[in-house]
């Protein structure tokens, strides 16, 4: 049977909304359109009840209590609220307001709030990972100081899928009385999560990465041992325990809850299926091509993610040769220039290889036929491009390219 094109393998960027999620949301646009904060009538009660159910569903996915869930517009907002909210709430007086530890390959939605806090007098340490991309508890321990008030480290990386030592880092922070936030956008919904056992105080995740709607997310805020307080970013009606004012996006929240519920029930099976497909993708590619490098730790990795560099080809040309496959490249368009991914760069991947990297993000509807098609397409494209590459020719003639002295213009 022919596969349906285009093929979507960019599930780390966003996912398609599950039909079951959409179905659950629909009544809340029309018949049940109430404001969850309206306390005087049926419409309000109905909306509030739906939001409460979603709160239970979201909490159940991460082992939290429903009162510990704060609704937001997505992980960008959750990260901002967690990081700025905690830093400003627990800030020390004076020029040195406190120390924060994070990692150089975090998502921009963590790095940029940290940068903002630096302008407010906070000191931020950006840890660099080793070549495998994993952040260990030992690395974090070395960075902790007397005045450290917050550690923020992602659970799994969005570009390479590597998984950090979250439980151990959490334990370390707990021992020292330091708040611990994790951007778990890529982890939650794919892997089991328990904020108690995993020692987490603040956790961000997002609807559109777990087959729910865009524009809705959640922040877990620990309520006991310790009771975490956050300075709000928005001032207003005092919704969400005063931490996030604004009328609740009831339809979005209902969808978010349903998406969490589906993940909780299906992630074990889905993870096994995607791991098998991802491993097949990698072994079929490496079995047919030389000069292929898989980026990030091979085992400490999400089951759905693969980031592969193809030596001696140009990334953009490779993508052009497979337009019917939706993937992300290792290049990011920043200010009109093509920059290599800062994540790959910080792992020590050279600019050339970073540019020729592709991120595959498998998802709920990825099929084996699609993987076969994609492998075929890539193997053909790479072989074709290499045929025209003088570098590849030199490599085949046994010339060590790293020793070549290039003429400069
Ligand atoms: C997608 C993503 C975000 C941003 O989430 P939004 O809900 O789109 O704001 C933040 N962190 C990570 C790791 C992500 O993958």
Query: What size, in residues, is the chain?
Result: 409
pLDDT tens-digit profile of 216-240?
Answer: 999 999 999 999 999 999 999 999 9
19-263: CATH, from 3.40.50.1110, 1.20.1540.10, 3.40.640.10, 1.10.150.120: 3.40.640.10
Answer yes or no: are the C-beta atoms of 71 and 204 closer than 8 Å: no
DSSP 350-395: -HHHHHTEEEEE--TT--HHHHHHHHHHHHHHHHHHHHT-HHHHHH
Entry pTM:
0.96
Indicate which residue's Cα is closest to atom 3 of ligand 1.
75
Range of lowest pLDDT (193-202, 298-307, 385-394): 385-394
Separation of CA 203 and ligand 1 centre (Å): 12
- Would you say the CB of residue 158 lies under 6 angstroms from ligand 1? yes
Q: How far is CA 15 from CA 186, 195, 216, 303, in A?
A: 11, 24, 13, 16
CATH number at 7-13+267-395: 3.90.1150.10
Separation of CA 249 and ligand 1 centre (Å): 18
63 — alpha (psi -120 to 50), left (phi > 0) or beta? left
Please determine, for residue 58, whether its predicted confidence score (pLDDT) is greater than 60: yes
Rounded-to-integer distance, Cα 229 and Cα 231, Å:
7
Q: Which of 17, 173, 260, 333 is catalytic?
A: 333
Pairing of strands 331-334, 328-329: unpaired
pLDDT tens-digit profile of 348-372?
Answer: 999 989 999 999 999 999 999 999 9
- Would you say the CB of residue 204 lies under 6 angstroms from ligand 1? no
Answer yes or no: are the C-beta atoms of 350 and 341 closer than 8 Å: no
- Would you say the CB of residue 209 lies under 6 angstroms from ligand 1? yes
Rounded-to-integer distance, Cα 359 and Cα 349, Å:
14
- Would you say the CB of residue 109 lies under 6 angstroms from ligand 1? yes
Q: How far is CA 238 from CA 182, 247, 281, 330, in A?
A: 25, 10, 49, 42
Please determine, for residue 50, whether its predicted confidence score (pLDDT) is greater than 90: yes
User: Shortest CA distance to 116 belongs to which of 165, 81, 145?
Assistant: 81
> What is the model's pLDDT at position 393?
87
- Would you say the CB of residue 183 lies under 6 angstroms from ligand 1? yes
pLDDT tens-digit profile of 72-115?
Answer: 999 999 999 999 999 999 998 888 899 999 999 999 999 999 99
| Residue 333 bears catalytic tag | yes
> What is the model's pLDDT at position 217?
98
Q: How many CA atoms lie within 13 A of 133 on its CB side?
A: 27
> What is the model's pLDDT at position 360?
97
For 139-171, b/e burial (b = at least 16 CB within 10 A) is bbeebbeeebbbbbbbbbbbbbbbbbbbebbbb
pLDDT tens-digit profile of 174-207?
Answer: 999 999 999 999 999 999 999 999 999 999 999 9
Q: Over range 262-285, report the average pLDDT.
A: 98
- Would you say the CB of residue 306 lies under 6 angstroms from ligand 1? no
Answer yes or no: are the C-beta atoms of 219 and 203 closer than 8 Å: yes
Please determine, for residue 126, whether its predicted confidence score (pLDDT) is greater than 90: yes
138 three-class SS: helix
DSSP 62-95: HT--GGGEEEESSHHHHHHHHHHHHHHHSPPSSS
Rounded-to-integer distance, Cα 370 and Cα 84, Å:
42
Separation of CA 109 and ligand 1 centre (Å): 7
> What is the model's pLDDT at position 408?
62
Give the residue extent of every domain in the chain: 7-13+267-395, 19-263
| Mean pLDDT over each residue of the chain, to the nearest integer | 95
Separation of CA 11 and ligand 1 centre (Å): 12
Q: Measured from the CA of 157, which atom of ligand 1 is nearest?
A: 13
Q: Measured from the CA of 214, which atom of ligand 1 is nearest?
A: 7
Q: Measured from the CA of 77, which atom of ligand 1 is nearest?
A: 9
Rounded-to-integer distance, Cα 392 and Cα 11, Å:
32
Q: How far is CA 175 from CA 30, 54, 141, in A?
A: 49, 32, 11
Separation of CA 308 and ligand 1 centre (Å): 21
* From 13, 76, 108, mutation site for ligand 1 pocket: most ligand atoms within 8 A of C-beta: 76
Separation of CA 217 and ligand 1 centre (Å): 10
Please determine, for residue 164, whether its predicted confidence score (pLDDT) is greater than 60: yes
- Would you say the CB of residue 181 lies under 6 angstroms from ligand 1? no
């Amino acid at each position: 049977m022919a596969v349906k094109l285009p093929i979507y393998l960019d599930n780390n960027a966003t996912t398609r909304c599950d039909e079951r999620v959409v179905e659950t949301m629909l009544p809340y646009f029309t018949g049940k359109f109430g404001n969850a904060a309206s306390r005087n009538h049926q419409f309000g009660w109905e909306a509030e009840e739906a939001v409460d159910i979603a709160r239970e569903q979201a909490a159940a996915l991460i082992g939290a209590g429903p009162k510990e869930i704060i609704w937001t517009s997505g992980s960008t907002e959750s990260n901002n609220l967690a990081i700025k909210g905690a830093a400003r709430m627990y800030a020390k007086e004076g020029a040195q307001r406190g120390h924060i530890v994070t990692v150089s390959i975090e998502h921009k939605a963590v790095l940029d709030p940290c940068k903002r806090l630096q302008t407010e007098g906070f000191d931020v340490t950006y840890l660099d990972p080793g070549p495998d991309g994993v952040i260990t508890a030992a690395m974090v321990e070395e960075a902790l100081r007397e005045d450290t008030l917050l550690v923020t480290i992602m659970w799994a990386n969005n570009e390479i899928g590597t998984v950090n030592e979250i439980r151990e880092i959490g334990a370390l922070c707990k021992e020292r009385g330091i708040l611990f936030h994790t951007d778990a956008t890529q982890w939650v919904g794919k892997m089991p999560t328990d904020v108690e056992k995993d020692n987490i105080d603040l956790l961000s995740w997002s609807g559109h990465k777990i087959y729910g709607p865009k524009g809705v997310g959640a922040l877990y805020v620990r309520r006991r041992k310790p009771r975490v307080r956050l300075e709000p970013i928005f001032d207003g009606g005092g919704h969400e325990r005063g931490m996030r004012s604004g009328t609740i996006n009831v339809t979005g929240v209902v969808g978010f809850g349903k998406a969490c519920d589906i993940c909780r029930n299906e992630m074990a099976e889905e993870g096994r299926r995607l791991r098998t497909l991802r491993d097949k993708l990698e072994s079929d590619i490496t079995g047919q091509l030389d000069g292929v490098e898989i980026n990030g730790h091979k085992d400490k990795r999400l089951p759905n993610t693969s980031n592969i560099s193809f030596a001696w080809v140009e990334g953009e040309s490779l993508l052009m040769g497979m337009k019917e496959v939706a993937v992300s490249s290792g290049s990011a368009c920043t200010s009109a220039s093509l920059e290599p991914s800062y994540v790959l760069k910080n792992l020590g991947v050279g600019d050339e290889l970073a540019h020729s990297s592709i991120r595959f993000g498998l998802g709920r509807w990825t099929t084996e036929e699609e993987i076969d098609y994609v492998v075929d397409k890539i193997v053909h494209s790479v072989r074709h491009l290499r045929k025209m590459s003088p570098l590849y020719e030199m490599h085949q003639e046994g010339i060590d390219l790293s020793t070549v002295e290039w003429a400069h213009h």
